[in-house]
């Protein structure tokens, strides 16, 4: 039997799919609908001190669309909750009581003073919530007031606030990191050092969705002016994966539980985040684009895939891909591949040819016996994967490893042994090979 | 058999007034902006794309589709019209399923080509709605060219010549320019007077004078045109529909399909057209399908299209055949007309002999016959070229297989006469092919005219 139950720093949920702190988790009504739909948990929309903040009355969202208007990237300038603290707390308490099996984490953002945190923590504890998430990520608006990303960008502040929280509550503390930073390992290290139970990432990335060429203002704009917002959705997934991998394989933060966030739209995305070490995953944009029902496919899809692979519990594969992430310098330079075209699948669009011809290594010919026919010239192919990337037919183009003889491009015999840059003769700083 | 008993029934206004508009609505309603964007995204922007090769006018299809997808439909229209000045009409009438779309790699990949024709229509519609002139004329060359025929071949030739700086006079026997675009294409393919809008756009470039109501052979002579102009282009299309070769072809109700379609296209009120209750169409090409479908749409009860060979041999594309069937036309293969049955000078029926393919694919009669009742019999077994005034003896152009012989650039046997479109031998009898012929001839003429001594003048006879 495949078991999707998750235990993340003691926070239990029937599946690892949580809704990220955002509009989908802004109030009882949404959260109850989400739980009914099957979400394993939520991180409640970030609470702040009273009086509540105000949002702009103009547009909050902008989007990057594919040609068929599928939303590829999403931009927002919404602030934290604009509802009174007490109202949120009452609803949280009620929902947790009515849905005891679901994870209910409360996101918090108050000024960088210990007193402020000391005031809010007992109020949250009183709701029976399972844990707190510290919003050090919000890149717009709140950061101008010294909160959100303004804290997340300074590892010392991250550590300081995390420590206050650990000292003032028994609830597990998750630190939500901002990606708007040069090296995400530093705030993660600070969080761990301060005793945080976990980190979650990524929050949104500074962004301007576009410029309206008629009005010459950002699009969307509020009364003719725009400000940067936070970018999320499918477009940010690769950035999130990379940041998560950095934390997962950093010796200083290894083993620190991670809740993965950023562009997760389906079970496959989720499985990838988990393979890189995320114990749970959080979703915002996909739910905002399609509604809560997408969780059905997420749970079923993950279950089916786990069944196929013989994984029975999440722990069977969480972190499994981490050891495969390494530095460039350790990649095997004796690994030689050549592009291959499956002629039965080839539809003769010629895109591999023109890509390689114009921008790569002139390694794909376009005619054979006067006919339109695409073929790889092994004496030129460097195995870069460009052609495979542009080929519109899945599985038509692949890279094949050469294991015998010589590389037709260099004439050098294929060396079956592993050798990397650190020992390469062209490396001025090489170390002697063993 | 219907040849006796009931009275011959030919009447106008067979349908309720509103029905005509519905029946003759756009065959392929235009794509809106959103569907066009979605469809444009399907194009892979192939390298050296097969569709371009398949287009007789070599439109850079991947480029214009990319321009649509980037929100630049005007640029897309420019890409199209640069190669094919009738890109608007071609988007409506080209049998794309046997041209560009047949070789689309997505046809190979998933059996669903990119809707190239519909996208071409989308882009050109944007341009025509705007009316922007995208061509400029080269400095005047001082050369004058006569173009005979204002159909796709003639107008395409005239336009390219004008762009290249020559001054052009187009003569046409009919009242309006456009050729079969105006008088032949099925009504549901070209709505809202598009042929005239397109012709007006072409002429708005300047440098082209159109003289209508002048027929070569009666009002004009080739010899005279050759004397008056530096070069002549013949784009006169085809003449009458081939005869069945049966007794009784002059019976009332035995009609040349092309003539009838011309009346249909010019009718202000479709309900005024006389339509038979039982209609028989003889032929297997585009004209046969068009007259059959349009008869049905005009309210004929029973329309039977009879073709002497099999389905695969039909000239009409698979799409056209399907269109006929879904419109309620009955198609009968392997039967040839044997005898027209008349009554009081009007047709009442037609007898067919069943045929089969014998040795070497030769058609042979089987001796077995059947009769169809008919109030109207349409002849649509191919049009023939009528060379009057063009090929009269040693002075005229040389013919080949009954049409004008030309080389790869459209040159006839006379050094200063070019020809193209349906009237030349070896063509495809398609609008797009005629446009290409006209364009290619203009380029060839331009080269020849520029090589001529600039002192050549009409007055000295040259
Ligand atoms: C019923 C029908 C439906 C068709 N449907 C399609 C279709 O859907 N798609 C497609 O691609 N093709 C179609 N075709 C074919 C297409 O219309 C022709 O291939 C195309 O029009 C040929 O162009 P053209 O310029 O050579 O000749 P035409 O279009 O025939 O133009 C010739 C012009 O020359 C004029 N002319 C003729 N003789 C003289 C003379 N002696 N003196 C002066 N002027 C003269 C005529 O008045 C006419 O304007 C169809 C044809 C027919 C008959
Ligand atoms: C409209 C909107 C509002 C958000 N508000 C918050 C918030 O209040 N607190 C927070 O921690 N993150 C907030 N986020 C960030 C999301 O929780 C999440 O980290 C981010 O959107 C990346 O995930 P996704 O790609 O699944 O959307 C918000 C995101 C959006 C789109
Ligand atoms: S792998 Fe790179 S170099 Fe080799 S054929 Fe493909 S594009 Fe060219």
pLDDT of A321-365, one tens digit each?
A: 999 999 999 999 999 999 999 999 999 999 999 999 999 999 999
With beta carbons less than 8 A apart as the criterion, state whether B295 and B303 touch. Answer: yes
Nearest-neighbour CA in chain B from A390: distance (Å): 10
pLDDT at B454 exceeding the cut of 80 = no
Q: How confident is the model at residue B70 (pLDDT cuts 50, 70, 90)?
A: confident
Q: How many A-B residue pairs are in contact by the CB < 8 A criterion?
A: 41
Cα–Cα distance measured from residue A74 to residue A231, given in angstroms and rounded to the nearest whole number: 6
Q: Confirm whether B10-25+241-382 and B144-239+385-451 share one CATH topology.
A: yes
Q: Convert the pLDDT of each residue in B78-129 to its tens digit.
A: 999 999 999 999 999 999 999 999 999 999 999 999 999 999 999 999 999 9
Cβ–Cβ below 8 Å for A392 and B44:
yes
Supply the pLDDT for residue A347.
93
CA distance B111 to B113: 6
- Burial class, A306, CB count within 10 angstroms (exposed 0-12 / middle 13-18 / buried 19+): buried
Residues with CB under 6 A from ligand 1: B 93-94, 148-154, 171-174, 179-180, 184-185, 189, 215-217, 235-237, 258, 261, 286-287, 290, 389, 421-423, 429-432, 434
What is the per-residue pLDDT for B392? 66
- The answer to whether B81 and B133 are in contact (CB under 8 A) is no
**In which band, very low, low, confident or very high, does the pLDDT at B453 lie, cut at 50, 70 and 90?**
low
Spatial contact of B315 and B290, defined as CB atoms under 8 Å apart: no
CA–centroid distance, residue A359 to ligand 3 (Å): 10
pLDDT at A38 over 50: yes
Residue nearest to ligand 1 atom 39, measured at CA:
B236
**Chain B hits for A66, Cβ within 8 Å:** 41
Question: What would the pLDDT profile of B206-261 be if each residue is shown by its tens digit?
Answer: 999 999 999 999 999 999 999 999 999 999 999 888 889 998 899 999 999 999 99
The answer to whether A274 and A318 are in contact (CB under 8 A) is: yes
Q: Token pair of A370, please?
A: 């006067």
SS3 B306: strand
Q: Give the closest residue (by CA) to ligand 2 atom 15.
A: A203
Identify whether the C-beta of residue A336 lies closer than 8 Å to the C-beta of residue A415: no
Neighbour count for residue B129 (Cβ, 10 Å): 9
Q: Is the predicted ipTM greater than 0.85, yes or no? A: no
Q: Which atom of ligand 1 is nearest to the CA of B155?
A: 25
What pLDDT is stored for residue B457 in this prediction? 46
Among chain B residues, CA nearest to A394: B109
Fold that domain A6-324 belongs to in CATH: TIM Barrel (3.20.20)
Q: Which of B34, B37, B108 sits opposite A347 (nearest CB)?
A: B108
Output the CA–CA distances (angstroms, integers) from residue A15 to A358, A363, A420, in the order listed: 48, 48, 41
pLDDT 10s digits, A70-98: 899 999 999 999 999 999 999 999 999 99
Integer Cα distance of B337 and B318 in angstroms? 24
CATH 3.20.20.70 positions along chain A are: 6-324
Pick the CATH number of A329-423 from 3.90.1150.10, 3.30.420.10, 3.40.630.40, 3.30.70.20: 3.30.70.20
Contacts of A348 in chain B (CB under 8 A): 46, 50, 105, 108
Per CATH, domain B33-130 is 1.10.1060.10: yes
Highest mean pLDDT among A90-94, B16-20, B216-220, B273-277: A90-94
Residues of chain A with CATH 3.30.70.20: 329-423
> Distances from the Cα of B380 to the Cαs of A332, B192, B243, B286, B384, in angstroms?
73, 26, 9, 9, 11
**B43 interface with A at CB cutoff 8 Å:** no
| Integer Cα distance of B91 and B27 in angstroms | 12
Ligand 1 midpoint to CA A65 (Å): 45
First to last CA, chain B: 67
Rounded to an integer, what distance in angstroms lies between the CA atom of residue B275 and that of residue B294? Answer: 10
For the domain with range B10-25+241-382, which CATH number is right: 3.30.465.10, 3.40.50.1000, 3.30.930.10, 3.50.50.60? 3.50.50.60
Å from B44 to nearest chain A CA?
7
CA A90 to each of CA A32, A172, A310, B134, B289: distance values in angstroms, whole numbers, following the listed order: 14, 20, 43, 67, 74
pLDDT digits (tens, 9 = 90+) for A150-174: 899 999 999 999 999 999 999 999 9
Give B50's contacts in chain A (Cβ within 8 Å).
348, 372
Burial (CB count <10 Å: 0-12, 13-18, 19+), residue B447: exposed
Closest in A66, A69, A349 to B44, CB measured? A349
Distance of residue B435 Cα from the nearest chain A Cα, in angstroms: 27
Query: B144-239+385-451 sits in which CATH class?
Result: alpha beta
Determine the Cα–Cα distance for residues B403 and B295; give it in Å rounded to an integer: 30
Q: pTM of the prediction?
A: 0.82
Q: List the beta strands (DSSP E) in A290-407.
A: 337-341, 364-368, 371-376, 397-401
Residues of A engaging B, defined by a Cβ cutoff of 8 Å: 66-69, 347-351, 353-354, 366, 372, 392-393
Name the minimum distance, in Å, from the CA of B225 to any CA of chain A. Answer: 45
- Give the contacts of B3 (CB within 8 A, at least 6 positions apart): B341, B343, B348, B349, B371, B373
Tell me: the pLDDT tens digits for B366-409?
999 999 999 999 999 999 999 888 876 667 899 999 999 999 99
Which helix or strand (DSSP H or E) is residue A302 part of? helix A294-309
Active-site annotation holds for A352: no
The number of the ligand nearest the C-alpha atom of B90 reads: 1
- As a whole number of angstroms, the distance between CA A162 and CA A393 comes to 49
Query: What value does the mean pLDDT take over residues B43-47?
Result: 93
pLDDT, mean of residues A197-212: 97
DSSP label of B12: S
| Burial bucket for residue B435 (CB in 10 Å: 0-12, 13-18, 19+) | buried
């Amino acid at each position: 039997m495949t078991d999707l139950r998750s235990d993340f720093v003691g926070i239990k949920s029937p599946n690892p799919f949580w809704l990220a702190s955002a509009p989908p988790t802004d109030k009882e009504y949404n959260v109850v609908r989400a739980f009914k739909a099957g979400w394993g948990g939520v991180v409640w929309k970030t609470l702040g001190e009273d009086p509540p903040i105000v949002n702009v009355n103009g547009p909050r969202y902008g989007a990057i669309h594919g040609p068929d208007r599928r939303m590829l990237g999403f931009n927002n300038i919404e602030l934290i909750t604009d509802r009174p603290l007490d109202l949120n707390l009452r609803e949280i308490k009620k929902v947790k009581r009515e849905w005891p099996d679901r994870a209910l984490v409360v996101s918090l953002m108050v000024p960088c003073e210990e007193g402020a945190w000391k005031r809010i923590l007992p109020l949250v504890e009183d709701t029976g919530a399972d844990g707190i998430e510290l919003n050090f990520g919000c890149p717009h608006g709140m950061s101008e007031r010294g909160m959100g990303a303004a804290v997340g960008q300074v590892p010392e502040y991250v550590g300081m606030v995390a420590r206050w929280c650990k000292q003032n509550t028994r609830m597990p503390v998750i630190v939500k990191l901002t990606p708007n930073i040069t090296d995400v390992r530093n705030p993660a290290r600070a969080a761990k050092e301060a005793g945080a139970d976990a980190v979650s990432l990524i929050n949104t990335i500074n962004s301007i969705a576009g410029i309206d060429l008629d009005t010459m203002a950002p699009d969307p704009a509020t009364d003719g002016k725009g400000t940067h917002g936070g970018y999320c959705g499918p477009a940010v997934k690769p950035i999130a994966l990379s940041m998560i991998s950095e934390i997962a394989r950093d010796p200083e933060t290894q083993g620190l539980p991670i809740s993965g966030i950023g562009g997760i739209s389906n079970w496959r995305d989720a499985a990838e985040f988990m393979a890189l070490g995320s114990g749970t995953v959080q979703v915002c944009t996909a739910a905002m684009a399609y509604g809560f029902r997408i969780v059905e496919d997420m749970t079923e899809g993950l279950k089916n895939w786990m069944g196929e692979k013989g994984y029975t519990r999440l722990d069977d594969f969480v972190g499994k891909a981490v050891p495969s992430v390494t530095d460039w310098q350790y990649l095997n330079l004796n690994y030689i591949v050549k592009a291959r075209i499956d002629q039965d699948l080839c539809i003769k669009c010629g895109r591999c040819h023109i890509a390689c011809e114009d921008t790569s290594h002139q390694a794909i010919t376009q005619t054979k016996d006067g006919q339109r026919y695409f073929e790889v010239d092994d004496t030129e192919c460097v195995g870069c994967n460009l052609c495979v990337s542009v080929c519109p037919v899945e599985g038509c183009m692949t890279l094949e490893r050469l294991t015998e003889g010589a590389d037709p491009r260099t004439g050098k015999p294929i060396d079956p042994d592993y050798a990397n840059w650190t020992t390469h003769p062209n490396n001025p700083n090489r170390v002697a090979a063993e | 058999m219907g040849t006796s008993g009931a009275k011959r029934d030919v009447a106008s206004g067979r349908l309720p007034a509103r029905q005509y508009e519905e029946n003759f609505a756009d065959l392929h309603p235009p794509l809106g902006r959103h569907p066009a964007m979605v469809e444009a995204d399907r194009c892979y922007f192939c390298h050296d794309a097969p569709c371009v090769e398949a287009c007789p006018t070599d439109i850079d299809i991947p480029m214009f589709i990319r321009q649509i997808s980037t929100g630049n439909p005007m640029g897309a229209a420019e890409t199209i019209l640069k190669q094919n000045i009738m890109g608007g009409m071609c988007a409506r009438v080209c049998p794309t399923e046997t041209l560009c779309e047949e070789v689309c790699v997505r046809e190979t990949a998933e059996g669903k080509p990119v809707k190239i024709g519909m996208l071409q229509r989308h882009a050109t519609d944007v341009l025509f709605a705007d009316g922007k002139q995208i061509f400029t004329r080269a400095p005047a060359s001082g050369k004058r060219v006569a173009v005979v025929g204002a159909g796709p071949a003639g107008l395409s030739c005239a336009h390219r010549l004008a762009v290249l700086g020559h001054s052009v006079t187009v003569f046409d026997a009919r009242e309006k320019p456009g050729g079969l675009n105006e008088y032949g294409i099925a009504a549901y393919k070209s709505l809202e007077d598009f042929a005239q809008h397109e012709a007006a756009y072409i002429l708005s470039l300047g440098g082209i004078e159109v003289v209508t109501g002048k027929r070569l052979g009666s009002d004009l002579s080739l010899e005279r045109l050759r004397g008056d102009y530096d070069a002549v282009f013949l784009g006169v299309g085809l003449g009458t529909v081939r005869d069945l070769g049966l007794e009784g072809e002059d019976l009332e109700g035995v009609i040349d399909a092309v003539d009838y379609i011309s009346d249909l296209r010019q009718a202000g009120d479709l309900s005024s057209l006389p339509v038979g209750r039982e209609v028989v169409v003889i032929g297997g090409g585009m004209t046969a399908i068009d007259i059959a479908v349009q008869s049905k749409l005009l309210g004929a009860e029973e329309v039977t299209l009879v073709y002497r060979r099999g389905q695969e041999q039909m000239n009409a594309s698979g799409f056209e055949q399907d269109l006929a069937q879904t419109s309620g036309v009955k198609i009968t293969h392997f039967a040839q007309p044997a005898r027209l049955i008349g009554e009081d000078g009007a047709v009442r029926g037609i007898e067919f002999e069943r045929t089969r393919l014998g040795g070497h694919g030769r058609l042979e009669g089987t001796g077995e016959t059947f009769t169809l009742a008919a109030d109207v019999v349409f002849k649509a077994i191919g049009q023939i070229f009528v060379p009057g005034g063009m090929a009269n003896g040693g002075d005229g152009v040389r013919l080949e297989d009954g049409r004008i012989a030309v080389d790869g650039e459209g040159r006839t046997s006379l050094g200063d006469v070019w020809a193209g479109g349906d009237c030349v031998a070896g063509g495809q009898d398609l609008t797009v092919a005629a446009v290409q012929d006209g364009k290619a001839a203009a380029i060839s003429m331009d080269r020849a005219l520029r090589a001529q001594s600039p002192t050549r003048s009409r007055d000295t006879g040259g």
